[in-house]
Chain A
Amino acid sequence: MDTATLPRATAYNARPTIRGALRRIIAVFKDNQAFTFGVLLLLALYLFGVIGSQVVSPKKADMGANPLNLSPTWEHPLGTDGLGRDMFAVMVIGIPNTFKIGFLAGAVGVAIGTLIGLLAGYYRGVADAFFSSFADVMLVIPTLAILITVSAYVRVVTVEIMAVIVGLLAWPMPARVIRSQTLSLRERLFVEIAKLSGQNDFEIIAFQILPNLTAYLAASFVGAVSAGILAAVGLEVLGLGPQNVPTIGRTLYYAFRYTALFRGMWWWWGPPVVTLAIIFTGLFQMSTALDKYANPRLKGAMRG
């Protein structure tokens, strides 16, 4: 056992062939294709909402502002619903609201989860045992049931309150992922070196461990946004979402309540369904693409 292997290894790394590099770039691009597609899909939908809501007067989304039950015409591109709302106006105002809930909820969930995961994984001990058990318990309890109880009492008024309530219950999954990664990172050599060179715990967590978790943070965030929108729309479909503000879920709730499905009013229930399908397709593309970075074991599996 001598050190003969070391120089050879460096030499191999130092002389990358052009073909090899090219292949790697193409591979990365291929990996990112799904991600890029997902981002573009969501971005397009969001821009559609933002630009649309600037063009359309928000008054048209009010109840009784238009004739009832119109099928799509030039004046009402998506028709009007059974309560006289212009469906196009409802959708373009609702889309940014739904995005806002999802991203805010995802941010709250990931922020709490990351903090708990980092501290529990780094310090271990009693706090870790407590938070890990708590996260496990929270993963078992059906979140939607808790959310329904909360929203039944706190009749949610604004988009922001809704997002925070959903986000407060979205932390266990990120916490678990970040904790398990922190557990392994804290044993690594560079953390030892940082410790020996006199960095304190905060510096080690913030500058040594956290930067190594970027892929996991991104994957957790996309997952949390997805779960947040799923839960929020679920609550809205039950009529427990923000009142007086058009959201995708609330549109579905009305479509349900006034039996749009059985009255053949496809322009009432169709747009929210298609919008949600686009949102979840985009998020799904992004999360599978990120999983490849966050979970290298899947790398071979996905390419099959």
Chain B
Amino acid sequence: MRGMDLRYFVRRIGMFFLVIYVAASFNFLIPRLAPGNPIGAITSRMANASAGIENGQAMFEAYRKRFGLDEPIYVQYVKYLWNTVRLDLGQSLSAYPAEVWEIIRPAIGWSIGLIGVSVLLTFALGIAVGALLAWKGTPKIVKAVLPMTMIGGVLPYYLLAMLLLYIFAFTTRLFPMSGAYDSGIPRELSWQYISSIARHAVLPALSIILTSLGGWALTMRGLMVNTVGEDYMLLANAKGLPKRRILWWYSVRNAIPPQVTHLAIALGYVVSGAILVEIVFSYPGLGYQLYMSIVNSDYTVIQGITLVLAVSVGLCVLIIDLIYPRLDPRVTYVVESSG
């Protein structure tokens, strides 16, 4: 690949696996470091559910064996990592014996759709707003109006989500209050189904877009201002290129690559926010599923979702890092041979 050598490639992939490894290790350690006895809590919950079980102690032992908790801790650790690699995340506790992966899988699509679309939109809008804010040729009126896009920036995601829900769904009933699509519509590739999905996604997506747009626009503006003093700008002006061409193809073009790096850094934060937005709108993605598992004390599903979230963010950052040299030809990761 251009601008990149094997060593960089391998290091980036290694970083990705390190993310998965650390996240998986957290998942392994947290329940075992937690005070109290999770397996005891689970069995006592089960005992409660079936109103008293004879031979509770025997069942407790059986469960310890079933979950491999009678083995030494390092054996448990290796087994756990191996199972994680095979996508075997164990079985749900609240919907036993359903596989955790089967519970998580349908939620992934909804989350990717919601977060993906909102992040891409925010990214594009942020670049446009930031560019117009920094550009000298922007009409005064536009410059006065644009900072309004930053009002949402001081609010946390979930607060804006609640406000939007109250104003646009509860009070004016312009948009649906919860869910990802209307029930009763056949789930097929029809106009009705797709428009229903779109209508349900508007408010959750808006909460994510409006809260993060201001930050993007501000950094973009800073980056744009930094390009002003560059030699290529002087040359472009001297050549008498049209102002718009200079704006988009010289100034903005050179400010975009650092923004992409910011995207990689901000992604984990955005996903954290999206979790809460999904809960506010009961949007059936990973965040909402996570909330339901907390309500049901379904620890295996909680851990599975944590892992899936870490892996997906890690994967996105990996992809960004790998395409970065294509965006910014000045950056090469090829180690120069001989000085």
Contact = CB atoms under 8 A, between A and B. Distances in A.
Interface stretch (A120-128, A211-219, A295-303): A295-303
A146 B225 CA distance: 38
Given A152-B299, A153-B31, A304-B225, A276 B310 contact: no
Interface string A123-135: 0000000000110
A154 interface: yes
Interface residues of A, number: 44
Interface of A is mostly: helix
Interface centre among A152, A240, A280 (most CB of B within 10 A): A152
B154 interface: yes
B225 A300 contact: yes
A149 B27 contact: yes
Interface in B11-51: 15, 18-19, 22-23, 26-27, 30-31, 34-35, 38
Contacts of A145: 271-272, 275, 290, 305-306, 309-310
Of the four ranges (under 10, 10 to 19, 20 to 34, 35 or more), the interface on chain B belongs to 35 or more
B22 A141 contact: yes
B266 to A, nearest CB: 10
A148 B302 contact: yes
Interface stretch (A109-117, A193-201, A231-239): A231-239
A138 interface: yes
Contacts of A276: 155-156, 159
B158 A140 contact: no
A281 B155 CA distance: 8
A277 B153 CA distance: 10
A141 B19 contact: yes
Nearest to A146: B26
Nearest to B271: A142
B108 to A, nearest CB: 14
Contact of B225 (A134, A138, A269, A301): A301
A140 B221 contact: no
A183 interface: no
Contacts of A256: 280
A138 B165 CA distance: 32
Contacts of A233: 156
A82 B5 CA distance: 63
Contacts of A154: 34-35
Contacts of A237: 158, 276, 279
Contacts of A240: 294
A304 B154 contact: no
Contact of A142 (B133, B291, B297, B310): B310
A153 B225 contact: no
B121 interface: no
B265 interface: yes
B contact patch SS: helix
A301 B35 CA distance: 50
B162 A277 contact: no
Contact of B155 (A137, A143, A277, A301): A277
A261 interface: yes
A300 to B, nearest CB: 6
B294 to A, nearest CB: 6
A230 interface: yes
B44 to A, nearest CB: 15
Interface in A277-301: 277, 280-281, 284, 297-298, 300-301
Contacts of A238: 276, 279, 291, 294
B275 A142 contact: yes
B153 to A, nearest CB: 7
Nearest to A155: B36
Nearest to B26: A146
Given A148-B294, A154-B35, A140 B314 contact: yes
Contact of A304 (B27, B166, B221, B309): B221
A273 interface: yes
Contacts of B82: none
A56 interface: no
B222 A138 contact: no
A250 to B, nearest CB: 14
B170 interface: yes
Interface in B141-179: 153-156, 158-159, 162-163, 165-166, 170
Contact of B276 (A140, A146, A234, A277): A234
Interface in B285-339: 290-291, 294-295, 297, 299, 302-303, 305-306, 309-310, 313-314, 317
B153 A146 contact: no
A298 B18 contact: no
B257 interface: no
A138 B18 CA distance: 10
- Specify which of A134, A149, A281, A302 lies most central, judged by the most chain B CB atoms within 10 Å of its CB: A149
A210 interface: no
Nearest to A269: B162
B134 interface: yes
A212 B180 CA distance: 52
A191 interface: no
A45 interface: no
The 9 closest A-B pairs by CB, nearest first: A301-B222, A144-B272, A153-B34, A301-B225, A145-B306, A141-B310, A142-B271, A142-B268, A142-B272
